[in-house]
Structure 1
Amino acid sequence: MTYNLFLVDSCGPDVLAEALSAVLQVPVKEVDVADPDGDQEGRYWDALVSCDYSPVQGNVSLSLNIYAQDSVKLQPSEAQFSAALAQRIGTPVLYPPTESPVSAHSLVTPEGEVIRARLPDPDDDEEFMVTAVEAFVEQLPEVPVMHLPEVVRAQVIATPLSDSFAEAITSLPQDGKGEEGTPISAEVAEVARFAESYLGAWEKLSRRVENNWEPSGWYPLDFYREVLGYRDDIEGYLRQLPESVATLYKRYVDKVDGLYQELTVEDTEHVVMGDSGGPVTDSVQKAWWWYRRPEPMPWEE
């Protein structure tokens, strides 16, 4: 198991070795900690746990590349490992999430609180800087606290209705190779796959409302409008697909539309249609989904 982490506060190799020994429950003599740019003569290459640590410039102090051999019985996830290490050493630990851009790290405090933090990859010879966090971090008091849109965009949201449509399309015979039913061409199947992706985006919005915008509890208004634009595009796919496939597609679109209507309220002030999020009264007429919104609105504090 490999762990790629950053520490906010620095510590020596002996402290790291003892912490890794405790977290992974291996003898401290089986932990090798070294600077990869330093002297390699004394390294224990067969250690159960190896840790390359590199001092970095910026508001984080150390970059860690840790490897635990398969024979190490305890193999915690990166999140679990980071939390245990932060508590042991007494400094926040940053680790990259699997579902988000690399810059949107997760930061775990010594108290176990997990906060999303923006840590962009630096250019050559530049500093590693946490530039934003979603909650105040005592050890990073100067870092601005703000929502991170990239985290919201990368969240994995289940879309059972869209998935069902995709499965239905996959089961249709294509180019005459099926035993039953009217075959669809490869071109139609490709269009249906694009249509499914737009349906998935539309369903994700309703699922976010359904789950109270968890885990962020926030959703940007421009993202909301973007998805309403995808719903506009769905109308184009309904016209573009052959009748049999369009009928199938519309069945699932109607289900997502119903879910959206159930979870939203009439936007009487046209907040969603406004150019800057404020109420307007002279909006150009659009489709009905542009005149509904969630309550409360997730883009307001």
Structure 2
Amino acid sequence: MPDHPPQTTTSELDESLPSSLRPTQHCPPLALLRAHQEEVLPATLASDINRHIEQCPLCRMLLTDLEHIPQPAITTQERDRILRKLPHVSTTTPAGWRWYAAAAAACFLAIAGAFLYLRQPQVNQTNLATTQTPTPQPLTPRLQIAKLALPIGMAPGLVLRGEASTQQPTADQLSPAFEAYAKDDYPLATQRFTQLADQFPRAELPFLYLGVTQLLQQDNAHALTTLNRADTLAQQNHSPQKDAAAWYHALASVAAHSPEASTLLQAVCSQTQSTYSQQACELEKHPAN
């Protein structure tokens, strides 16, 4: 009867591969490929495997994949034990039989390979825990402060509150501060609005735009105090800016993490005629960071 290669049971590592990618009887066992990758094989056997790899696309693909799988480096003692276990393989052995002539070595290496394979998920989990810490994602959008538009009808010489010029600044007096504000020169605008607020302590406009300017500079604590004053004056003076004053007061309380933030947002939300009602309702439902 003609000789046939022995029917060797496939190792657990080979069985873990898809059937279409398992080594054939002419390919080295996966454990030997792993040993070849670790450079622990004798020169003769390593040379045979190199010649096989040059002609076998499957084994080249397996070796490429093995290079991308992190493996614990074997110790010198483990390398010596592997070398002692490997038998001498004759160069005259037929190619189909040569790999199975190293059956004892393959068995030993399969056990070693399985050990390394079983250790792999643990190593990967450690790597994930140390190198892939997820970045916390904000649950809600950051608080956006929109710039308040300039009052409609501003013109040089215009008195905004009729004859009450002693309590309210004129357009000419407001113009330098508004000019700096419109150019986003917030430090200069802060200086000029502060001067107007000191000069007209009963006027809501200097306080309102000073508070908004402070908010835009993220000076939240001062903005809250200033806009609280603007909100109070706007309500007392029945100002056309009362809705804006209430809204920016609420925004300042949110930005400053004031305990009254929710109450102020609810008040603006309930004013259905206010331009800012919907925004206040949305911010109340989904507080910003």
Identify the TM-score tier after normalising by the shorter chain. under 0.3
Q: Larger % of helix: which?
A: 2
Q: Larger % of strand: which?
A: 1
Larger radius of gyration: 2
User: Under a length normalisation based on structure 1, what TM-score does the superposition of the two structures give?
Assistant: 0.23
